Structure 1
Amino acid sequence: MSDRVAAWLRIHAPELRIIGGHASTATVDDAAAALGIEPARVAKSLAVRAGERVLLLVTRGDARLDNRKFKDICGTRPRMLDPEETHAVTGHPVGGVCPFALASALEILCDVSLRRFATVFPAAGSRTSSVEVAPERLAEIAGARWVDVCRLPEASGP
């Protein structure tokens, strides 16, 4: 668990409890297995460059970034940050990236794909911790804006 994320959550969302001490949540499939949930309910956070801006996109675990939708909203194609850049701007290791207690002030986007679920599970700043939170509350505490920039697997529906 990240002490920085725990301290941040105590201030901004004291009702949320960090789920820690489980197996690795470094990948969507690992997180889903560790938490006993379907992969789609994992809220993955992606550090993306859009021209000169760096954004954090939070989306459901089985969604894929749609380059055309992203370009229509952000004006340019997305470029994923490498693990070192991601850690530098977020303060979290890849596999533990979340929209809480960021090292840099980043614009945060939540993809509408998260809204299908009553609760989702973003990481909590480490590869072995997460939180359970309603999507609307996630966007609220992260200061995120809702966007539609992802595509879902064919079998997932809306």
Structure 2
Amino acid sequence: MAIEAVKAYFKALGREQDILEFAVSSATVELAAQAAGVIPARIAKTLSFKREDGCVLLVTAGDSRVDNAKFKTEFGCKARMLTAEEVLAATGHAVGGVCPFAIDNIKVSVFADVSLKRFETVFPACGSSNSAIELHCDELYEYARSEKWVDVCKDWQG
């Protein structure tokens, strides 16, 4: 189970006890916000895109949308999302619980979008459709082993 891998990952970081497991689904931004008791924008959603050499995981604020032109400029390819089966194969996490943690696939590159930086803390999933963890943005960046901060989203500036 993916959440077990994420728990082991965070246990090594001394943070396993910080994983939240909800009695309700957190599989969408709206459901996760309700479960965590925060606004949807503070949910750190992880989106998966195809790339010639593997895939890009983009962690972004819950209220943002990918800007296709910015994405192409940053990554040199069109923003084409993976299928549910491809996401599971690449990350080990099923749609609804996809997160940038406990991923051992060297063909997966993680990037954090600047849309997250307006919040002190955000809530990414933890490998299941009813889990999350509250992290400072710098912690998210570090624990996700992000390659860099990018600016590839729109509709979040207000």
Q: What is the TM-score of this pair, normalised by structure 1? A: 0.92
Indicate the larger mover: 29-38 or 12-21: 12-21
The root-mean-square deviation of aligned C-alpha atoms, in Å, is 1.6
- Structure-1 residue corresponding to 2:153: 150
Q: Percent identity?
A: 46
Aligned residues: 155
Q: How far apart are the structure 2 equivalents of 1:96 and 1:71?
A: 26
Indicate the larger mover: 46-55 or 110-119: 46-55
Q: What secondary structure is seen at the aligned counterpart in 2 of 1:109?
A: strand
Q: Unaligned regions of 5+ residues in structure 2, if any? A: none
Which residues in structure 2 correspond to 1:1-158 (within 5 Å)?
A: 2-12=3-13, 14=15, 17-105=18-106, 106-144=108-146, 145-153=148-156, 156-157=157-158
Q: What is the TM-score of this pair, normalised by structure 2? A: 0.92
Q: How far apart are the structure 2 equivalents of 1:16 and 1:53?
A: 32
Q: What secondary structure is seen at the aligned counterpart in 2 of 1:34?
A: helix
Superposed structure 1 runs of 4+ greater than 4 Å apart: none
Q: Unaligned regions of 5+ residues in structure 1, if any? A: none
Indicate the larger mover: 101-110 or 71-80: 101-110
The answer to whether the 8 Å contact 1:89/1:103 transfers is: no
